[in-house]
A and B are shown apart, each in its own frame.
Chain A
């Protein structure tokens, strides 16, 4: 069975700093997708970034980028020039086309300090 692990329950960084959130996963599949979702205090889940496993290139979205290490089964999220609005819970998620399930990690609560 697939698993997703986020080892950092909570983190705090100063505004404008760079922060990296870690995520590891376990699967025997070769074709799959990985996601980072943001859940601010408003509770709305927002897709931050999506990575397809067969693509070597790391996905980026403005200040958000991932470091996808397929062999190590690692999928970390880097937030550059962090802003107060980045304060939220961040969830890593995994899905594979073969079983059509989605599995979320337990989340990392990120605080951006002024």
Chain B
């Protein structure tokens, strides 16, 4: 049963600390998405990659957030320095298609709390 995995599932950190969230897409999937979910803003697309190349990161605050795919089996989302307003659930999703409208498979999310 192929699944998207995300680590850690929960993270509590102090303001100013660096946070790294990891995602392992389903094997063979060529597209990876990062989303953020908050009560106020709902679910927002932060960035996505196709064949490891960043296609769109316009939803991501550039000054402190960065997303990378070091290889086809790992995607990372980093926040440095973290702030309380970054507290949210961060989802990774992967897919096989060429377009954002193709089916995406979501991971279980990382719940981040920044104190």
Chain A residues in contact with chain B, CB under 8 A?
Answer: 32-33, 42-47, 50, 91, 93, 95-97, 100-102, 104-107
Contacts and interface: CB of A to CB of B under 8 A. Distances in A.
Interface string B43-56: 11100000000011
A101 B103 CA distance: 14
B100 A95 contact: yes
A45 B100 contact: no
Q: How large is the interface on B (under 10, 10 to 19, 20 to 34, 35 or more residues)?
A: 20 to 34
A100 B104 contact: no
Nearest to B55: A100
Nearest to B42: A106
Nearest to A45: B106
Given A44-B106, A45-B106, A46-B106, A100 B56 contact: yes
Contacts of A95: 100-101
Nearest to A106: B42
B42 A43 contact: no
B89 interface: yes
A50 B104 CA distance: 11
